[in-house]
A and B are shown apart, each in its own frame.
Chain A
Amino acid sequence: MAGSSARPVWMEKPSALGTGGKVAVLAVISVLVLYPFVSVLATSLSTEADISRHGGLVLIPDHPTLAAYRTIFAGGVVTDALLRSILITAVGTFCSVAATVGMAYGLSRRNVVGGRFFLLVALFTMLFSPGVIPNFLVVKQLGLLDTYASLVLPTLVSAFNLVVLRSFFMTLPSELYEAARIDGAGDFRVLARIVLPLSKGVLAVVTLFYAVGYWNAFFNAMLYVNDDKWPLSMVLRQFVLQGQSLSDTVTGSEAAAPAQAIQMAVVIVSLVPILLVYPFLQRYFTKGVLTGAIKG
């Protein structure tokens, strides 16, 4: 018993009451988390009558309908925007990761000419944003208005991601670099064969950050490109902002989907792709970011 009593209380076998309490608390938290999702999904499947009857907060639609989804996907505007978003996210993420890796690697090496200056220039952008109009003028003067490049180039390198990657690269043992050098490897080979294979975790995180950023970005699209080049986020934003007006524009004999159902359907459509990707990458999140930040 002496040994047993010396153990801290949290190492004891939990009582039935304690276990029951934990289950209850976790169940309540789960309900709090799931409730909005269920309500959003249910509202997206509801008719005008259902929404009115439940005062706008539907949990189980009485007459489920896909009318809101049909409205959203009618005419191919959303599907076209979806393809554009996938393309912008894929190309943008690839370019951003490539640029960030290159810059982080260069800045992680000692005695690089101007390295400190360029690092400060990058860090400066974390503290002071250039503002909407200066950004617009730069994009305009580069001739990038109404091009897909304007959605990628202004946000190509994130200073935060740069710092995370640079910090991680600096933690790699210098012996590895020296050994590679002795074997005659140049910087590109060192980066490709030594550094990147050791950085999969942090690269996954940075990739996810960029991908989510490109997927959700709408502001640059609103400023720089016309509506025929809008990504999904901007199109969906239109649905959310103009849900009521959208219903009003449907002037055919068929009853339109209710505005709230359309807005909730939009939330579901924008959530699904991220929900599909997250479970596979989430485990890298904590590990990758903490590795870069703490060891840096």
Chain B
Amino acid sequence: MGLDESSLAMNRRGFLRTGAGAVLAGAFGTGVLSTVAGCGSDGGASKVSSAADVTLPTTIPYQGPKPDIAATADGVPAAFYTYPKPERAFPTPPLKNEKITAITNVFGPPPPGRSKNPAWQEIEKRLGAQVDITSVSSADYETKLNTVIAGGKLPDIMLYDGAGINNLPRFLQSACADLTPLLGGDRAKDFPHLAMIPKTVWETCTQAGKLYLLPIPRNIVGGSGFYNSTLFGKVGVTDTSAIRNADDFLGVLKELTRPKQNQWALGSTNFGTTPFHHIFGSPNNWTLDGGKLVKNYETDEYKATLEFLVELHRAGCFVPGSEGWTKQQMQNGFAAGKVAMIYDGLPAYAGPTGYFRTLPQTHQGNEAKPFLPFGHDGGKPVTWQDNIAFGWIMLAKADEKRLRTVLKACDFLASPFGTAEYLLLNYGVEGADYKLDPKGNPTLTAQGNQDTLVPWKFLSAPSQVVYDPTRPRGTTSTSCTARTRR
């Protein structure tokens, strides 16, 4: 589809508005920013559009296999020890002889092309469409996407990963499809897998007062980092949520700091002080206080967190000089047992390079566990809904028939955990790309490691569950009693 260039033209006032929008974007988070930045078009009376006006898709919960650990209302996802018996969600291909184009991120090297990739071929066969994907690394994505936009011929599916698009609301209005008429309310039933995505996730998809985006959902809660349970155990802590208050925690961290043994409680704060904010109850970026938006910096909880961190610094609990560490150095420090705690997102726990595996590999006898926060004053801590979506999908403007075709493809790619399609999209073709162990868990073959690099999961995706086939019983229940804040 071509771009309406005149609609992208910008005068000086428009430019200033964009700048203001960009500033607010950083401040408010995606859902709200677009609404503000998109208000007031050229001429005419300004009307502030609101995300509250948007009819979001009606969520129809997944009636799939029973999880080993049930999901919670607060957003903790369901967990599975083994892969359920896969059921076909699409007995016949949802499309027929269609061609779909897409641009997205790729993580890792480029995958083998269609002709050498049985998984790619099977996915297209079961989808009923040829999918031509242009993919570059996230570091190059902004340049590539903006160049393609400037070229005027947009692919059907475009990932928006936060890449800088000049005047995003206006770009969406002029070049992307408003999905509200197709997905708003009960109309989402036509795309049942997209309809399974929770409302919390859809709320991040509104821009300029309309539903312009499809989400790539994440686990909603990003967690509070990880700790070396072996080192904590040596100072008498077996469960971090049982620590009584901040003073006790200070004592624990001081005990963990043993410079003569090349061991400190903490490393650089460059990679997040989130666990401490959870302990002291800081809001997640903004909070509503009597109807008034208050920035986290302004709150007493934030100040208390900073004071505690300063106290830890004075007590020598941080590795000297670690403020200049790279993320890799921080991870090395934790894996080597040099630091006892690290902040990283929950997805960094599982998998072959997850902390639960790298710590025992590099520091024998040690074990990593997710840090469960406690209240600094003996009360309840908080956790944040800070991992709601990896990114969003924009669909190029087209007629309704074409949009339905593309949405059907997205619905196929959002096939949930437990379906045969999910297995195909994530693990490829049985035999060539993965083998099932006696319990039904897929193990990728060498070829599977390559074939599954095709970034299907960055074109559309279902809600996530906790499942790690490399350690089926390793998924840990983290029944958290914290208050969850957006």
Contact = CB atoms under 8 A, between A and B. Distances in A.
Nearest to A49: B362
Given A77-B110, A136-B150, A226-B133, 7 more contacts: A52-B362, A53-B336, A72-B109, A76-B112, A227-B136, A246-B108, A249-B452
B449 A249 contact: yes
B46 interface: no
Contacts of A241: 137-140
Interface in A49-78: 49, 51-53, 55-56, 72, 74-78
B97 interface: no
Nearest to B147: A136
Given A53-B362, A55-B329, A259-B328, A242 B108 contact: yes
A250 B110 contact: no
B107 A75 contact: no
B151 A238 contact: no
Contacts of B51: none
B479 interface: no
Interface residues of A, number: 47
Contact of A137 (B150, B358, B447): B150
A253 interface: yes
A244 B445 contact: no
A223 B336 contact: no
Contact of B107 (A228, A249, A260): A249
A258 B139 CA distance: 21
A237 B136 CA distance: 10
A275 interface: no
Contacts of A255: 352, 357, 361
B174 interface: no
Interface of B: 106-113, 116, 132-140, 143-144, 146-147, 150-151, 153, 328-329, 332-333, 335-336, 351-353, 357-358, 361-363, 443-450, 452-453, 469-470
Contacts of B362: 48-49, 52-53
A74 B446 contact: yes
Nearest to B434: A252
Contacts of B470: 251-253
A81 B444 CA distance: 24
With most chain B CB atoms within 10 A of its CB, the pick from A72, A235, A237, A248 is A248
Contacts of A244: 328, 353
B187 to A, nearest CB: 34
Given A53-B362, A223-B144, A259-B328, A228 B113 contact: yes
28 contacts: A49-B362, A55-B329, A76-B112, A77-B110, A77-B111, A77-B112, A77-B450, A132-B143, A133-B147, A133-B150, A222-B136, A222-B143, A226-B133, A228-B113, A237-B137, A238-B109, A239-B108, A242-B106, A242-B107, A247-B352, A248-B351, A250-B352, A250-B444, A251-B449, A252-B446, A252-B449, A252-B470, A259-B328
A30 interface: no
Contacts of A129: none
